[in-house]
Amino acid sequence: MADAEISYKLDLIVRLVDTTTGKRVGQKQIVFKIENQIIPFLRRDEGLYILLNQGRNDMVLEISAVGYLPIKQKICYEELSPKFPEVEVPLIPEVSTNGFVDMLTLEGCCPGLTSIEAVSLKKSYGVVDGYQERKQALRLYYSKPLEESSYAILHEQQQEFEEFRIQKRLDKLSVRLTKPLTIPCRPEEKIARIVHGRVDADGRYLLRVLEEGGGTEYLVRYVVNGNASFKGISTESLNLLAEPEEERN
C-alpha cells in the first residue's frame, strides 16, 4: 500500500501588531472571518498566523481579538509577495479599565476622510545618516530594531512626516525601501513609529495613542478628499480634525 502524501499550500501570513506600542498581539482569542464565515488560521508564534489550502483570492478579512477593536482588512494578492504573502495588521486597543495604561483618543467625523495616522514627537526609533536614492537605501546613524513593515521620517521643521515601507533589511543600520522617498531627507532627522487610526466609510474616525510621561505630543497626518494635512495633538490640545479648507481660513 502506497504511503499517503499530504501537501500544504501557504496562502496568507497575518502579523497582528498593537498599533499603540508596536508589539505583537499576544492575545490568543483571535477570530478570523471572510463573508461572516470563520476561517481556520493556524497560530505559529505570538501575533503570527497562517492560512493554508484556502486559495489565493482577494478578500476582506474580518479580525476580532479580545481587548482590541474589530477590524476589516482588505487582502489584495497583487500587492503581496508570491512566495511569502504577508500582511501586517495594526489593531487598536480598547480603552483599558484597569487603570494601568493611559491613552489619548481622538475621534469624530470628517466627511471625505480616508486615512489617519500619527507619530510621536518625543520618541524616536532611529536617526537618519544618509539616503541613496538610486538604490532606495536608507542608512541610519543609530536605530532600535525595526520589526514592523513601515516607519516614518519626521521632518520637524516642516511639521510633516513621510511613511516608508521596508523591502529588505540590509544590516542592522541599513534598509532598502519599496519605493523612493518623495521628500528629501537630511542627516539627523528622526525615524518614528506610525500609530494607525481607523476611518469608516462615512468619515467617522478614531485614533488612539499612548500617553507619555512628561506630556504627550504627536503629529497627526490625515487625508481628506485626496489632500494630506498635518496637525499636532497633545495632552493639553486634543481638538477634532478640520477639513483642509477650514484650516486655511
All three cell numbers of 216? 504627550
Decide: 15 and 25 in contact? Cβ < 8 Å: no
* Alpha-carbon gap, residue 136 to 25, rounded angstroms: 31
Q: What does the pLDDT look like over 6-21, one tens digit per residue?
A: 667 899 999 999 999 9
What pLDDT is attached to residue 75? 95
What pLDDT is attached to residue 87? 96
> Per-domain residue ranges for the chain?
10-91, 103-120+195-248, 126-192
Q: Which CATH number fits domain 10-91: 2.60.40.1120, 1.10.490.10, 1.10.1060.10, 2.40.50.140?
A: 2.60.40.1120
What pLDDT is attached to residue 211? 85
Decide: 197 and 103 in contact? Cβ < 8 Å: no
Q: 85-99, 120-134, 160-174, 176-190: which range is least confident on average?
A: 85-99
- Alpha carbon of 53 to those of 7, 9, 88: distances in Å? 9, 5, 20
SS3 letters across 81-137:
CCCCCEEEEEECECCCCCCCCCEEEEEEECCCEEEEEEEECCCCCEEEEEEECCCCE
**Stretch (H or E) spanning 37:** strand 37-38
Q: What's the whole-model pTM score?
A: 0.88
Decide: 136 and 176 in contact? Cβ < 8 Å: yes
Q: What does the pLDDT look like over 28-73, one tens digit per residue?
A: 889 999 999 999 999 999 999 999 988 899 999 999 999 999 999 9
- pLDDT band at 4, cuts 50/70/90? low
Average pLDDT in the chain:
89
How large is the average pLDDT for residues 231-239?
A: 77
* Alpha-carbon gap, residue 218 to 170, rounded angstroms: 30
Decide: 116 and 123 in contact? Cβ < 8 Å: no
How large is the average pLDDT for residues 162-169?
A: 94
